[in-house]
Structure 1
Amino acid sequence: MVIEAWRKIKQNTIAPVYLLYGTEAFLINETKNLILNQILTEEEKDFNFAVYDLEETPIEAAVEDAETFPFFGERKVIFLHNPAFLTAEKSKDKVNHNLSQFEAYLQEPAPYTVMVISASYEKLDERKKITKELKRKAEVVEAKKLNEHELKTWIKNQVKTKGFEIDDDAVERLLTLVGTNMFMITSELEKISLYAAEEKRINRSLVEKLVAKSLEQNIFTLIEKVVQRRLDEALRIYYDLLKQNEEPIKILALLAGQFRLIYQVKELARRGYGQQQIAGFLKTHPFRVKLALGQASGFTDEELVHLIGLLANADYQMKTGGMNKSLLIEMLLFRLKK
């Protein structure tokens, strides 16, 4: 749905009202920028572009702006953020909204204005009249989290638009190192592309060489070494993290979180849940589930329960005891190997 909306915008088939909703901030942001840059020049943006936070400003103020003729040029663009009145969540709004005035605008939107409602929520309240009306009258773009296949396809398309190719194992490694944050992936692809300018091809070794590991990825690799019972390498990663001034308590929290995830996906997989179902149940990305399932095979249920207990005890000691925090994790790693 997002790709189709982008195609229409690029062809200058612009709707008068857009509703962008979902939890993938990157896709929402890209759609907004595409609309803005397609309609207004840099000079026109100074006069004909406005942003309203609906937790601070009543909707009728934005509607009145939308109905006002552009000061300079032929069209104007208005972004509306945080429309909590479209959800079932308890409203944080500091203002009351005249939704009837907004509904009236939707019946006959100003032909010279493009209104973009940005709703960064997982779900909208379909029972509400305003939600139903907006979905009927607006161009609806759902920016949901991409699954693993969609994410890999998107990466390949991003690379292709730059005139490059990327190997399948390079895509896999990029996701393993960076995670599924599309902003971070885009940033890393920009960096890699500079180095691949001559060959126009991105391979796994180039990704390995250029992509910096996040703290989360270092924790993942550390656990991999524990799974493989390679304590010396696990400790080397840990010492490197300390040299980078990473806080032991943060490292411990990430270790505990990853082991809990491993235990959960192992249990849910045993009950017959598929990768997508597990991701939905745990509210995490399917790619993280895939990686955790791979690590789960290295532990028995009893080992995982024991490890989680050790981590909980270490957390308690770290927060209440006087023992050196760095040494506490080092001792923990020795016990994790057993």
Structure 2
Amino acid sequence: MVFNIWKKIKKKQFASLYLVYGTEAFLINETKQLLVHHVLEKEEIEFNFSSYDLEETPIETALEDAETFPFIGDKRLIILQNPFFLTSAKGKVDHHLAKLEAYLKEPAPYSIVVFLAPYEKLDERRKLTKELKRKAETIEAKKLNERELKEWIHERASLHSILIDEDAVDLLLLLVGTNLFLLTSEIDKLALYAKHIDIHTVEKLVSRSLEENIFHLVDKIVHRKIDEALRIFYDLLKQNQEPIKILSIISGQFRLIYQVKELARQGYGEKQIAGYLKVHPYRVKLAAGQARFFSNEELIRKIDLLSQADYEMKTGAMNKVLIIEMFLFKLNDTPIKQS
């Protein structure tokens, strides 16, 4: 995984060539920043750091720089962005790729050359792509799956010498989502607070996403605490959240509650449901708890009400804020039934 390469960089165990490709901007940016920080001293950056956009600059110009001896320090760091010639795309710059092929055979021992390729796929049929992947330390900057995300969170926490409980990881992912920039910010903040992060620490300190705020709104709806639901709704409006987006997420939560209830009735376990619906297991667990307060018929009625509210909002039949208020007031028509 990417952390293995990052750990080597932090130990100053550098490769001559790096290839970072994929669409996960955080992993690309973090690799670049780690190399700049650990390869060069501050006073060396001005003299020994160069960055080239290969959609504008020929590769031979960048390689001439890589073959120039460093000034003051021991290493040069050359960042090569957008190497489109590793894909099937065509660019406006003609590159002397034979020069690059020759460099790959014998990289300058005093230079670290980094290819940053923000593309979902490289053209694996190209001889140059194959050779670069064979010679370089390669990082696939892809979107992480659930297992990789959890591993990444634990690894990120370990960089701060802190431990984080598994249920705290689940809640962190639920509250923040899968954006690595946001997760990094929250983990760094948690690390300032404690050396052992449990679920209560996450509940207390982590900023809530729009979806999480709306989950709490739905929870108030579930328990027919309409005054408190309205208070959360008005707070969201003060944060400049659009009523149509709020309604959309409320609708999505009620659909999830219905799906979880129905699949549980058919004998599926929570992990199976999470896999089938492709949602986070913690969301399934919470939705299962909320589902106990509704019969299937009640949930269908609520989903119908939300569908009607969505239609009225999109056709301009009524003021958008009033539409959601009316939906919330209609919920008082049915008493709580716990099953």
What TM-score do you get using the length of structure 2 for normalisation? 0.77
**Matched AA of 1:175:** L
1:290 aligns with 2:285: no
1:159 aligns with 2:186: no
Residue 18 of structure 1 corresponds to 18
1:145 aligns with 2:136: no
Conserved 8 A contact 1:22-1:119? yes
**Matched AA of 2:192:** L
Q: Would the alpha carbon gap of residues 161 and 233 (structure 1) be closer, same or farther in structure 2, given more than 3 Å must change?
A: same
Query: Structure 1: how far apart are the matches of 2:239 and 2:153?
Result: 30
Give SS of 1:174's match.
helix
1:192 aligns with 2:183: no
Shift of 1:49: 0.9
Residue 131 of structure 1 corresponds to 129
**Matched AA of 1:49:** F
Question: Across the two proteins, how many residue pairs are aligned to each other?
Answer: 325
1:249 aligns with 2:247: no
Residue 202 of structure 2 corresponds to 207
Query: Structure 2: how far apart are the matches of 1:238 and 1:258?
Result: 15
Larger deviation: 96-105 or 312-321? 312-321
**Matched AA of 1:50:** S
Residue 172 of structure 1 corresponds to 170
Residue 70 of structure 1 corresponds to 70
Query: Structure 2: how far apart are the matches of 1:56 and 1:151?
Result: 35
Query: Structure 2: how far apart are the matches of 1:67 and 1:127?
Result: 28
Conserved 8 A contact 1:265-1:278? no
Query: Structure 1: how far apart are the matches of 2:304 and 2:234?
Result: 23
Query: Structure 2: how far apart are the matches of 1:301 and 1:67?
Result: 70
Query: Structure 1: how far apart are the matches of 2:263 and 2:80?
Result: 40
1:99 aligns with 2:94: no
Query: Structure 2: how far apart are the matches of 1:327 and 1:186?
Result: 38
**Matched AA of 1:173:** L
- Greater CA radius of gyration, 1 or 2? 2
Query: Structure 1: how far apart are the matches of 2:63 and 2:102?
Result: 10
Q: Would the alpha carbon gap of residues 147 and 229 (structure 1) be closer, same or farther in structure 2, given more than 3 Å must change?
A: farther
Query: Structure 2: how far apart are the matches of 1:27 and 1:117?
Result: 13
Structure 2 residue aligned with 1:236, among 225, 231, 236?
A: 231
Query: Structure 2: how far apart are the matches of 1:69 and 1:188?
Result: 41
Shift of 1:119: 2.0
Q: Would the alpha carbon gap of residues 43 and 325 (structure 1) be closer, same or farther in structure 2, given more than 3 Å must change?
A: same
Query: Structure 2: how far apart are the matches of 1:232 and 1:113?
Result: 64
Q: Would the alpha carbon gap of residues 193 and 9 (structure 1) be closer, same or farther in structure 2, given more than 3 Å must change?
A: closer
Query: Structure 1: how far apart are the matches of 2:14 and 2:49?
Result: 16
Shift of 1:180: 2.1
**Could you list the per-position Cα deviations for residues 63-85 of structure 1 after superposition, in whole angstroms to 9, with x for gaps in the alignment?**
23222333442321111222333
Q: Would the alpha carbon gap of residues 251 and 100 (structure 1) be closer, same or farther in structure 2, given more than 3 Å must change?
A: farther
Query: Structure 2: how far apart are the matches of 1:265 and 1:84?
Result: 45
Query: Structure 2: how far apart are the matches of 1:158 and 1:249?
Result: 36
Give the CA RMSD over aligned residues. 3.7
Residue 46 of structure 1 corresponds to 46
**Could you list the per-position Cα deviations for residues 49-96 of structure 1 after superposition, in whole angstroms to 9, with x for gaps in the alignment?**
1122233333333223222333442321111222333335x55x4434
Conserved 8 A contact 1:70-1:112? yes
Which consecutive residues of structure 1, in runs of 5 or more, have no partner in the other structure?
A: 280-285
Query: Structure 2: how far apart are the matches of 1:277 and 1:233?
Result: 33
1:116 aligns with 2:95: no
**Could you list the per-position Cα deviations for residues 114-171 of structure 1 after superposition, in whole angstroms to 9, with x for gaps in the alignment?**
1111123333221223321211221212233333344334333433443433333333
Conserved 8 A contact 2:171-2:282? no
Give SS of 1:109's match.
coil
Q: Would the alpha carbon gap of residues 44 and 240 (structure 1) be closer, same or farther in structure 2, given more than 3 Å must change?
A: same
Q: Would the alpha carbon gap of residues 213 and 103 (structure 1) be closer, same or farther in structure 2, given more than 3 Å must change?
A: same
What TM-score do you get using the length of structure 1 for normalisation? 0.77
Give SS of 1:222's match.
helix
Query: Structure 2: how far apart are the matches of 1:20 and 1:185?
Result: 21
Shift of 1:186: 2.0
Q: Would the alpha carbon gap of residues 331 and 99 (structure 1) be closer, same or farther in structure 2, given more than 3 Å must change?
A: farther
Q: What is the percent sequence identity of the aligned residues?
A: 59
Larger deviation: 323-332 or 95-104? 95-104
Conserved 8 A contact 2:274-2:284? no
